Structure 1
Amino acid sequence: MSADQYLARLSCRDELNDSPLSATVVPYVEALLVQRYAKRTIGLYLHALAHFGHWMKTEALCVESIDAALTERFVREHLPACTCSMSLHSGTVNTRAALRHLLKLLAQRRPVKSSTDDPITTELDRFGDYLQNICGVAPQTNARRCKDVGVLLVYCFGAEPLVLSPLSVAQIDAFVATLIPRLRPASLRTGCNSLRSYFRFRALLGESTDALSASLPRVADWRHATLPKALSDAQLAAFLKVFDCSNPVELRDYAIARCLLDLGLRGDEVAHLTLQSVDWRNGTLTLGTSKSKRVQQLPLPVPTGEAIARYLRQGRPQTTDRNLFVRHRAPVGIPLSVAALRSAMNRAFVRCGLRDQFCNTHVLRRTTATRLQRAGASVKEIADLLRHRSIDTASAYARVDLEGLRAVALPWPGSRS
């Protein structure tokens, strides 16, 4: 069905045609159809778009005035007190989604204005550029640090100008104290490291931040206090059995699970695999983007290759995107995000009854290391496969070899030999 045919049956077409958005409606519908959105979903989005267009008309706004700040103003201020025709209401969730698609469409035609009036947004953009271009941190690390710093800036400044000189050590202590009850030690340590990075950035701009950096606590990290959590052989078998390989989505998820288990890949490494990553002739898998920032080539195990090949032949939807793993729900065919990949693995943990014990994809990577160790691999071999730069990182798995430890342990003083 074409966009014109779809619009001919739409109940709110008159409102759309009579709004400032009239020229964008057809390309808007065409974009949603290409991404294989359901007709009902498209209808909900168009009703939300008609509502937004009606509001723009009453406010005497034009298409050129549309930006992220305007759409947020519509959602936050107009929707709660709306007195427009009830036939145009699509709900807050659908309205936000519809307006996100509108912003994407307009961005393809012209640069969409961002909310540059917000000093915090501007500051985080500058900090993100520093992390990317000067520090060279990974995109995920960049996003995490900007998020952590954003929380601090909102806490300390709100909408006021950002000047760090009035900040005191007591304010930083009070902010960190708000984080302690809701963050685990590892997350708190990461957050403090993000703030140290931000204070270094501000120091480069000429502000004195030494005292602020020094006030951040050094969070204890007892990483070696417990054994690495990993799936037992029985749990691993139960986990792999939950994938229904007659379902295209489950075919994809099973292939992802094999990449995580057989090669010990990180979640973001799997999400960034492309069709070019697999060399079928030589039986290798190339990682182009990894935490180590080096192109690395790994042997492709037979079970992993078979799972990927089956997904490509029987499950992967037709798409022009070159990413190996893509979405199967609208928007169909775009790269699968790291968050969606983790969600898929979490659903598998739920189905096999292990969700209470395991809740992230990294446990599969640790399972790979543990199985290698139990099969007789050395710590150096484990570190090489997991691509650890430091052998100390992989040394934790030596503590899993309880039988080997018993063989070399000395008798306790005073006990019987």
Structure 2
Amino acid sequence: MSSAAVPMPGPLTPYVDGFAAVLTAEGYAARTVTLYRQYVGQLSRWLEAHSLGADVLSEGVIEEFLVERHATGHQTRLRVGSFASLLAYLRDVGVIGSPEQVPAGEVDALLLRFAGYLTKEQGLAQPTVSLRVQLMRPFLVGLTEHGSLDLPSMTAEDVTTFIVAESQVRPASVPPTVTALRSLLRFLHVEGFISAGLTSAVPTASGRRLAGLPKALPAEQVAAMLATCDRDTAVGRRNLAILTLLARLGLRSGEVARLRLEHIDWRRGEIMITGKGSRHERLPLPGDAGSAIVAYLQDGRQAGAHREVFLCARGPYRPMSPDTVSNVAAAAARKAGLGIVRGHRLRHSAATAMLAAGGSLTEIGQVLRHQHTATTAIYAKVDIAGLRRVARPWPTPEAAA
């Protein structure tokens, strides 16, 4: 659609065609692209009326635009997020700069530095960093008096009181909160905010990781989930490849989502997995998983600029998120009549299948890429035959006599 179809004066005129081309390349429907052009046109006219250039555009400016529209009687569903793609495009072509993170106060400024420490010094993934920052905000806010953050006067009692209070209000959040608090206290000590290390004052959360049994699926139920994939459709071929990777290699949903085309070594029959902490590890690619991926790549995957293997089935054809990958497993389980099953259940299923086939706990830990042997030890509890060999007989009165 030409730019003349939608009259658009204002500073955004030179960029509307390029923006529309990007939306089209990402798989947006023609009707949706036309709608976006109209939104950009309205914004451009507003900028011109206020003598503003395209280079000043930001989330805050868009918020002002929407507030004024609403005040003049325009009842649309436009939000600041409606213009996220436009802002991303203008940043890509150099019209506007990247948004700066401006701390709102002492707590925000400190948390921003803490996030940088976790990312650069500890090498943690962004979801983990975000969680720890979120968990530590209430702790730092509690140390604020009269609008000022008083770190030097922090005591061991402050640390223990915070954890005890969390255990009473949100017991399930205590283990990650304990880990986050230790990270924060190490950061504060290293950066000189506190003179003494207080990590030893953090109470130890009760460990119950090995209390239960892995919730694995038997082989016939895994096969039933795979059978729900219609291999005659693009979505079915994609879902079969995803489920096969989850079930055969025990990959995490995020690892499947991050798998890129260049991560598959077809000659060697290997794939490179980007796991926790951005660690890169190679695994053999089973024949059935490789065949399922090939079928999807040859007839099912939309061509485009994205290098991730698995893309959304409908435009815009973006890489799938970890939650979307897990939802593939959930949908297949529902179709197979298995109830609620998420992607991680297939990871447990892969481990127990390897154990049943004679694999050792060490081998299972290598495939699942566990950092600690204790993490793999839970699967020993489902090895009934092995446990029967080492179990001592139950005492009887006759034996006692």
TM-score (ref. length: structure 1): 0.81
Give the aligned partner of residue 332 of structure 2: 348
Contact 1:169 1:211 (8 Å CA) reproduced: no
Instruction: Return the alpha-carbon distance in structure 2 between the equivalents of residues 97 and 303 of structure 1.
Output: 41
Instruction: Return the alpha-carbon distance in structure 2 between the equivalents of residues 327 and 209 of structure 1.
Output: 51
Verify: 1:282 aligned to 2:273, yes or no. Answer: no
Aligned pair partner of 1:132 in 97, 104, 119: 119
Contact 1:265 1:386 (8 Å CA) reproduced: yes
Q: CA deviation digits over 1:34-68, x for unaligned, max 9?
A: 21211332344344434544554565544333223
Instruction: Return the alpha-carbon distance in structure 1 between the equivalents of residues 170 and 178 of structure 2.
Output: 12
Verify: 1:273 aligned to 2:259, yes or no. Answer: yes
1:216-235 equivalences in 2 (<5 Å): 216-235=202-221
1:93-108 equivalences in 2 (<5 Å): 95-108=79-92
Instruction: Return the alpha-carbon distance in structure 1 between the equivalents of residues 70 and 153 of structure 2.
Output: 42
1:180-329 equivalences in 2 (<5 Å): 185=172, 187-208=173-194, 213=199, 216-287=202-273, 289-291=274-276, 294-329=279-314
Residues 58, 164 of structure 1: CA spacing in aligned structure 2 closer, same or farther, 3 A cutoff? farther
Secondary structure of 1:82's counterpart equals helix
Q: Give how far 1:281 is off.
A: 2.4
Identity %: 30
Q: Give how far 1:158 is off.
A: 12
Stretch deviating more after TM superposition (61-70 or 297-306): 61-70
Residues 104, 57 of structure 1: CA spacing in aligned structure 2 closer, same or farther, 3 A cutoff? same
Q: CA deviation digits over 1:65-95, x for unaligned, max 9?
A: 32234445666xx27x813353xx5414xx3
Q: CA deviation digits over 1:129-154, x for unaligned, max 9?
A: 21222222234433332343456557
Contact 1:103 1:112 (8 Å CA) reproduced: no
Instruction: Return the alpha-carbon distance in structure 2 between the equivalents of residues 154 and 66 of structure 1.
Output: 33
Instruction: Return the alpha-carbon distance in structure 2 between the equivalents of residues 31 and 208 of structure 1.
Output: 50
Residues 210, 41 of structure 1: CA spacing in aligned structure 2 closer, same or farther, 3 A cutoff? farther
Aligned pair partner of 1:63 in 51, 54, 62: 54
| RMSD, aligned α-carbons | 3.4
Instruction: Return the alpha-carbon distance in structure 2 between the equivalents of residues 188 and 21 of structure 1.
Output: 50
Give the aligned partner of residue 379 of structure 2: 397
Residues 154, 244 of structure 1: CA spacing in aligned structure 2 closer, same or farther, 3 A cutoff? farther
Contact 1:260 1:365 (8 Å CA) reproduced: yes
Secondary structure of 1:286's counterpart equals strand
Residues 385, 173 of structure 1: CA spacing in aligned structure 2 closer, same or farther, 3 A cutoff? same
Contact 1:66 1:112 (8 Å CA) reproduced: no
- Which residues of structure 2 form unaligned runs of 5+? none
Instruction: Return the alpha-carbon distance in structure 2 between the equivalents of residues 63 and 113 of structure 1.
Output: 15
Stretch deviating more after TM superposition (314-323 or 65-74): 65-74
Aligned pair partner of 1:83 in 55, 71, 75: 71
Verify: 1:335 aligned to 2:322, yes or no. Answer: no
Contact 2:160 2:202 (8 Å CA) reproduced: yes
Q: Give how far 1:203 is off.
A: 2.2
TM-score (ref. length: structure 2): 0.84
Give the aligned partner of residue 34 of structure 1: 25
Residues 72, 215 of structure 1: CA spacing in aligned structure 2 closer, same or farther, 3 A cutoff? farther
Given residue 345 of structure 1, which amino acid in structure 2 is its aligned partner?
Answer: A
Contact 2:185 2:197 (8 Å CA) reproduced: no
Instruction: Return the alpha-carbon distance in structure 2 between the equivalents of residues 51 and 280 of structure 1.
Output: 50
Q: CA deviation digits over 1:2-54, x for unaligned, max 9?
A: 4x2xx4444xx4xx42x443333222222211212113323443444345445
Instruction: Return the alpha-carbon distance in structure 2 between the equivalents of residues 107 and 230 of structure 1.
Output: 46
Give the aligned partner of residue 16 of structure 2: 25
Q: Give how far 1:309 is off.
A: 0.7
